[in-house]
A and B are shown apart, each in its own frame.
Chain A
Amino acid sequence: MSFAAQQKFLAATLAALLLATIALMASDSSRTPAHEQKAAEFQRLVGGLGGGPAVDLSTCAFSFDPRLCPECPINYESVPGAACFCPRHGCSILYYPPLAGAHRPAARDEDGHRP
């Protein structure tokens, strides 16, 4: 193949790759409307469950669903403040901070939370 032909081939490949990428991104969806409907039905059935990058409660319920456990439970045991060692957070791709309300209990005049 001549040098000029190679250049044309490169330009054509570049155009084809760009078109393929745009087409993939346009068609990108791991879900169809039917799947969405079934997923919504499941969530209604269980009252809204999940949200984090874990699929069970075995180590960190916070990584499974922050509604069940508003912050990493490892923070309390066995070493206080050990959330940074939580194996569920190390490689997390969906980081979220502890729920703001986790440290904002209902203030009462008589319970020491409000002086």
Chain B
Amino acid sequence: MAIALEIGRTALATVVLHKLRSLVTIACLLTVLVPFLTGLGLSKGLEREAELSVREGADLYVTARQFDRNVPIPFAAIQPIQAIPGVDDAIPRIVGGIVLGKDNASAVLVGMPREKFPTSIQCIDGELSRDSRFNELVVGADLARRLNLKVGSVIPPFYRSDDGERISKVVGIFASDVGIWQANVIFTTFETAAHIMNQHVVATDLLVYCRPGYQEQVAESIQSLTLSAPHAPQPLRPHVVARDEVASLFRGGLTHREGIFNLHFTLAFAVAILVLLVTSGLGLPERRREIAILKATGWQTDQILLRSTVECLVLATIGICIAVILSFVWLRWLNGYWIASVFLAGVDTAPRFPVPFTLTPVPVLLAFLIGLTVALTGTLYSSWRSAIAAPMDAMR
């Protein structure tokens, strides 16, 4: 044990002795680990927000189905669904994409029935729509800044409707810290949204709230309904998405992450290993000579490998600690400048809302193991090659 501790102490000395090599190794690890940890932090933050969205949402989301695609559901479906035993409420909702301003900014129009609005609200600067001759809109913080809108701003007609166009008025702006999905939302009453979208007999979906324990039974009952479409020659089929089904998507999100994110980091790790191989022995004659001297003074190959392992452990620990600190600074104080726009679609280089993130122990531990593996792979082989060579040859 005493020998192992002494070997560990000499490993610490090696880190100090080869300052440039240590710095290059740490820099190499940081280059890979900081974006990796930042991406994972963002992913976990987003997952947490998504869970909140599912938790506070409806029990069932009902749309119609045609050509194996979701289509708006006719109002005629509300009454039969409300009559199903176990249903507390069925609320029609409109969600649609619109374009605003001279730069064609994309916005998400959301309309909910006025009678479902809460009496007091904290997430809005201003107020919710009241009955007036204008289209009264509550605008997302990001969209408001982009279009230079404030509470009281008036928007000239930006849509075409059979009932004629009306001037719109901004009555409130969502607080920027209520989540990323408020960024481009325009919230209004169901009637106003239907008027802007020029749709008077359909809703995007029905939000069904059930009594506890009735969710599955209600979903089955809705599936068996036949919806008569206002203009379609054939009846539509209802399509039900349950809260649990959506929640399970997000829960599995992190473990099933795919695509360029993983590919990018696989390549980055491969490059990092090569860089470390070069810096840790293959290209560093000093290090080979040092190992040869140790061998000549009686060190065994396994002791040299233990020394290299401890050295890697120290370097990986320093690397991961600095990476966590840098990721935290990037996500909290720099609010994910640039990196958020890479990972989150439709977000500006400098996000105008607090970027959600969580640096949990599991991703940090994973990054540490990756860092340690990179450092060990880049160091152990070259150390072993030097250790098994005859000291005379290695010293040349």
Contacts and interface: CB of A to CB of B under 8 A. Distances in A.
B344 A53 contact: yes
B348 to A, nearest CB: 10
B122 A38 contact: yes
B131 interface: no
B136 interface: no
Contacts of B65: 105-106
Given A21-B321, A106-B237, A101 B245 contact: yes
Given A11-B12, A14-B314, A47 B112 contact: yes
A35 B58 CA distance: 21
Interface stretch (B148-156, B254-262, B292-300): B254-262
A6 B93 CA distance: 66
Contact of B328 (A3, A24, A47, A67): A24
Interface residues of B, number: 104
B112 A46 contact: yes
Interface in B65-124: 65, 68-70, 91, 93, 95-97, 106-108, 110, 112, 117-118, 121-123
A22 B238 CA distance: 50
B8 to A, nearest CB: 11
Nearest to A51: B50
A93 B343 contact: yes
A98 to B, nearest CB: 9
Nearest to B324: A21
A53 B46 contact: yes
Interface in A66-112: 66-70, 76, 87-97, 99-103, 105-106, 108, 111
Interface string A38-50: 1111111111111
B320 A21 contact: yes
A93 B324 contact: no
Contacts, number: 263
B238 A28 contact: no
Contacts of B347: 55
Interface string B1-37: 0000000000011011100000000000000000000
A32 B41 CA distance: 17
Given A57-B106, A95-B256, A97-B256, A50 B70 contact: no
Contacts of A99: 241, 245-246, 249
B161 to A, nearest CB: 20
Contacts of A6: 16
Given A87-B345, A89-B259, A69 B70 contact: yes
B144 to A, nearest CB: 14
Nearest to B320: A21
A35 B357 CA distance: 14
Contacts of A7: 12-13, 16
**What does DSSP make chain B's interface, helix, strand, loop or mixed?**
mixed
B154 to A, nearest CB: 23
A65 B345 CA distance: 13
B380 interface: no
Nearest to B242: A101
A43 B56 contact: yes
A37 B121 CA distance: 11
A94 B187 contact: no
B354 interface: yes
Q: Most chain-B Cβ atoms within 10 A of its Cβ — which of A14, A28, A61? A: A28
Contacts of B17: 3
A37 B356 CA distance: 15
Contact of A17 (B175, B322, B361): B322
B50 A38 contact: no
B324 A51 contact: no
B359 A25 contact: yes
A50 B185 CA distance: 10
A41 B178 contact: yes
Contacts of A65: 53, 95, 181
B68 A51 contact: no
A54 B253 CA distance: 15
Given A25-B359, A88-B345, A93-B39, A50 B180 contact: yes
Nearest to B237: A106
B236 to A, nearest CB: 10
B261 A93 contact: yes
Contacts of B16: 3, 6-7, 10
Given A43-B52, A49-B57, 4 more contacts: A47-B91, A55-B345, A91-B260, A111-B237
Interface of A: 3, 6-7, 10-11, 13-14, 17-18, 20-21, 24-25, 28-31, 35-61, 63-70, 76, 87-97, 99-103, 105-106, 108, 111
